[in-house]
Amino acid sequence: MPPRSTPTARQRRLGAELRRLREESGMSVQHAAALLGVDRTRIPNIESGRIGISAERVRTLAHHYDCRDPALVGLLAMMARERHKEWWERHRGSVPPELLDICELEHHSVGLHTAVATHIPGLLQTEAHARAVFAAADPPLPEPDLQARLALRMGRQQVFARERPPLYEAVVHEAALRMRFGGPGVVRQQLEHVLTLSERERTSVLVIPFSAGGFPGSGQSFTYAAAALRRLDTVQLDSSHGSLLVDAAPKLARYRGLLARLRGLALPAAASRDFIRTVARDL
């Protein structure tokens, strides 16, 4: 099988975790290749996600890497077994690959914690609001590209339709609530939609009001995607240049701390809902 030209974020993460285990054990690429009976060039390709690996071989490598975390080994083996294509793959080629990586990340997460300052989180957006946001892109999106991104964003929301959806928490600044993408009518419907979603089980929306003053991380939006094992958590960062995924342990710890600080500045869930109702009435 030829190497993958564009491995997904999850395929790259599996490879990266195998590389970390190998490096922690002090084993060379040559030695790892000999354990699998393959050419030494295959190991770097596995570790970059460009070539797949079987669950059995994941367990073999983990054993020889002296990994003593059975939960981690089990999750990596499960990642290796994932061969079927999910719903977002039908959008490949019509949207940037990093947007598909976000869908994949959300799909496999057990918890999603997002912090935004100027936009309603994508998973909470109505179609009309999302269209207005995409229409404000710079440079402007051609209509086919806008439609493709809109369809993908709406499709992402099916993560909440699962039998057991991920825990979802959004910390949203007041500025995001007052941005008038699409005009007052669209914004009012959007805020009502946020209120409805915020009352679901396993979902919370917390508002940081202007009165809280300055706050850390005000210049960025991010989502902390919790995996079944903390080592496999990921942070997804939004920027004008696209999406970036971060998984280094020190950076994950930093964003966990940042989320804790933002929660401390936000209104409690019930008070946040009252605040959103007030903003909607002001429109």
Global confidence as pTM: 0.94
Determine the 3-state secondary structure of 170 from DSSP: strand
Chain centroid to CA 231: 15
Confidence (pLDDT) at 242: 77
Query: How much of the chain is in helix, strand and coil states, percent to nearest 5?
Result: 55, 15, 30
Domains of the chain: 9-81 (1.10.260.40), 87-282 (3.30.870)
Q: Phi and psi dihedrals of 250, rounded to 5?
A: -60, -35
pLDDT tens string, the chain, 283 residues long: the values are 567 778 999 999 999 999 999 999 999 999 999 999 999 999 999 999 999 999 999 999 999 999 999 999 999 999 999 988 899 999 999 999 999 999 999 999 999 999 999 999 999 999 999 999 999 999 999 999 999 999 999 999 999 998 889 999 999 999 999 999 999 999 999 999 999 999 999 999 999 999 999 888 777 899 999 999 999 999 999 877 778 999 999 999 999 999 999 999 999 999 999 999 999 999 8
- For β-strands 111-116 and 221-226, DSSP reports them as antiparallel
d(CA 283, CA 281): 6
**What is the four-CA torsion angle of 244, 245, 250, 252, rounded to 10 degrees?**
110
- Tell me the DSSP string of 152-166: HHHHHGGGGGSSSPP
Confidence (pLDDT) at 1: 57
- For β-strands 221-226 and 234-239, DSSP reports them as antiparallel
Supply 173's token pair. 């600044």
**What is the four-CA torsion angle of 133, 154, 184, 113, rounded to 10 degrees?**
-80
